[in-house]
Structure formats: structure tokens, C-alpha cells
Amino acid sequence: MASATIPRGAGSPKSPRKKDRTHFLYIAVILAVVLGATLGLVQPEFAKELKPVGTAFIGLIKMMIAPVIFCTIVLGIGSIAKAATVGKVGGLALGYFIVMSTFALAIGLVVGNLIHPGEGLNIAAGAENAPKVAEDAEGMAGFILSIIPTTLLSSLTGESILQTLFVALLVGFALQKMGSTGAPILTLIGQIQKLVFRILGMIMWLAPIGAFGAIAAVVGETGVEAIKSMAVLMIAFYITCALFIAVILGGVLKLCTGVNIFKLMRYLGREYLLIFSTSSSEVALPRLIAKMEHLGISKPVVGVTVPTGYSFNLDGTAIYLTMSALFVASAMNMPLELGEQISLLVFMIIASKGAAGVTGAGLATLAGGLQSHRPDLVEGVGLIVGIDRFMSEARALTNFTGNAVATVLIGTWTKEIDKEQVNAVLNRERPFDESTMDDAHEEPQVPEPELETTAAR
């Protein structure tokens, strides 16, 4: 990652801006959902025959679960080690991220259990997914033994995601112990991850077809109830994210720093518009770095907290994962028991790291969590495909707000913040110079080279 910066407006002419083609995918998914729902209402019998289309798309997502989980966990552990080496800032940031993302996952479970999204749909699972969980008959000892793969590589080719997670943890900690000698291997895994995410991105271009088949089949089978249930999930998700930002993040921010969350959000208004238009918080990374520094937080704190938070502080994604899992379970009339919900939460705490900013990674993580605990529910992820894009804005905005709040908190706790500058900026007395950010989203600069694996997704 280059550290040198060329003055803007000088030197070579500005390169043409590359078009973001994901807008076309977003529109295509929306059209597919509308057409699929319409077909399901008008021609329900024919719509039911389209179920294999949605099942095929979920099969493609399942194909990518193991490599996504493996690469994300291995690189995530490496990033933790590097972030921790910067001392107090890294330790505080990582501790806060783990606590807050766990709290967000728990909130998703609580809300999901209160509203019971998907209840009453009674969507049948395929016969091939009839068995529940093998460990039920074998007890806890059998469950633990099932986590250990036959060989190191078999965990990447089998169907047990817990085995993949286990091996990824072993490899990650082993590379951590190897120090600088393990750096080339981490670099190689980083390149493999880029390949995996590129393939996943290609698969996601089939999302309109998969969404059309899945929604058509569901609506054809259950009628208008499916549309109502998905609408309830989306509305509940947006309300939960809004309350999480205003009450939880706002309360912690006010209590610990005295800063008003709404003033901070007003200061970041242009970034919110950028995120809302692209459904990704990644595009605002360089702007958040610049604005947090202008707010009065020291460069070292911003340089560690913001990039690391983009992979480890995913509050919106955490809420989405648990609420979606409960929705799928309720829709298929196979609700998750309390013990399964808790173990799923633990899995998501680890597996959700790195699920933001990459198209399809959230779906793969959701499918991975269900595959590891209730394989009979994976087919139901097709229900989420159609509405996943509708929830992406709330996810991205919540993730972004969480990272902005975390930066102010870490700056306050480490006494690396200029309170007088904070008040002046938030009261609009010292506005941010937007001319310094021309085309910043095209040339993101992350101050900490050692965090490249984490931030450059």
C-alpha cells in the first residue's frame, strides 16, 4: 500500500472515474423480486416449479462458504496480532469491537425472538436436509469429536463448517507464532481471499435469477403472507438499526465523551449520502479517516481504529445475521432452540469478521452459520436473497456509524483528542475543507501499512 501522496491538482491529469456496476445489480435484484412475487400471486403452480432456480443459487453460495470462512478467519487473526502491536490503542479498540459486536448480535437475537419474523409461512425443506444435527444422538462428546477433521485439508472440502473454523483458527494462531517468517504465507492467503471474493462477486451477478426463482416459489406456495413476512423483517431490521445507533451508540458516546450522536452524524452527513447511494461503507473509508483527524483525534488513533473497525466492528452486519437466521428458522417452521441460538451467536462473533464491504460475504456467512448448526435450514437462505439488498443500506450505515463512534471513544480513553476542536467542529465553527477530498474515494490512503490485510478489502 503506497504511503506517498501526490498533491491533488498537480502532475498527471485526473484518470476517468470508473463506473460502479453494482447499481445495475441492485436494480436487477429489485426488479426480479417484484416480478417473482407477481408471478407467484398470478401463477402459483408454475411459480412453485421455479424453486430449483433459487436452490441452485444457494448451492453456489454454499460452495463458497468454506473458503470465505477460512480466509477471513486466518487473515483476521493476523490482523489482530498486528493491531495489538501498536499498544494501548490497538488493545482498547479490539476489546471494544468484540464487546460491541457481541452486543449487536445479542440484540438481533432478542428482537428476532420478540417479533418472530417468518412465523406461519411453513416453507418445506428439501428431503436431503431432513436430518437435524448429528450430535443430538451422540451427545456433547460426539459433537466435540465431529469438529476434528480427518485431515487438515478435508476441512476445506467437507460440509462441516465447524471443522473449517477449527482449522482456520489453528492456522491463524500458528502463523501468528511464526512472526515474520509467516508473513509470505499470510500474503498468499490474502491473494487467495481476493480470488475467492472475486468468484463470489461473479456468483452474485446471478442473484437476480436466484431471487426471482426463490421469491416466485415462496409466494406461489404461501401467497401474500410471504411478502408480509419479508416486509416485517425489513422494517424491524431498519428500526432495530436506528434504535441501536440512537440509543446504544448514542448513549455510550454521550456517557463516555459528552458528544451528541446527532451532531456527529450531521458532521458526517455527506458520507451518509455516499454510503446510502452505494450500499457500502467501504467507499467512505478515506473520508472517515480525514474527517476524524479534522475532528481533533490524533492520527495514530484514527490510523489504527478506523481501518481495523472496518473488519472487526460490524454492528449492522451482526444484527442482520442473527435476525435473518431466526427469520429463516421461523419461515421453515423449524425454530432454533435457545442453546442453538447461543452457539450460533458464538459462531457469528468469529465468522462475521470481514463480512462487510464484499458483495455476497454476508450471505455466505449467514449460510455458514446455519450450515454449522442446522444444515436443514440452509435452503431457506433463498428467502433472504431477494431482500438482502434492501437491508444493505441499513447495514452499511450502522457499520459506518459504529466506527465513527468507536474512533471518538478510543481517542477519549487514550487522551488523544482535542476537546476544544471537537466542540468547534460539531458546532460548525470550523467546517471541514471538502477540497482536500476531491476524488479521495478513488485513492484511499490508510495510514497504517501493517493493517493492509484488514482494511484493503
Which amino acid, 307? P
* pLDDT one-digit tens code per residue, 129-167: 444 444 444 555 665 777 788 888 877 777 667 778 788
pLDDT of residue 238: 92
Question: In this structure, are residues 50 and 37 in contact, taking their beta carbons and an 8 Å threshold?
Answer: no
Q: Which three cell numbers stand for residue 318?
A: 451482526
Q: Which of 20, 93, 447, 2 is nearest to 275 (CA)?
A: 20
Q: Region of 87 please: left (phi>0), alpha (psi -120 to 50) or beta.
A: left
Question: In this structure, are residues 438 and 64 in contact, taking their beta carbons and an 8 Å threshold?
Answer: no
DSSP sequence for 3-27 = ---PPTTSSSPPPPPPP-THHHHHH
CA 239 to chain CA centroid, nearest Å:
18
Q: CA 305, CA 293: separation in Å to the nearest integer?
A: 12
Domain ranges within the chain, ordered by starting residue? 22-455
pLDDT of residue 78: 67
Question: In this structure, are residues 454 and 308 in contact, taking their beta carbons and an 8 Å threshold?
Answer: yes
The per-residue b/e assignment along 81-91, b for 16 or more CB within 10 angstroms, e otherwise, is bbbeebeebbe
pLDDT of residue 143: 59
pLDDT of residue 123: 67
* pLDDT one-digit tens code per residue, 310-340: 767 788 888 888 888 888 888 888 888 877 7
Helix (H) or strand (E) holding 72: helix 65-84
**Fold topology of 22-455:** Proton glutamate symport protein (1.10.3860)
pLDDT of residue 401: 93
Phi, then psi, of 356 in degrees rounded to 5:
-100, 150
Question: In this structure, are residues 250 and 402 in contact, taking their beta carbons and an 8 Å threshold?
Answer: no
pLDDT of residue 55: 78
pLDDT of residue 82: 61
Residue segments in the chain with a per-residue pLDDT below the cut of 70: 1-23, 26, 76, 78-87, 120-143, 159-160, 277-280, 283, 311, 350-362, 386, 435-457
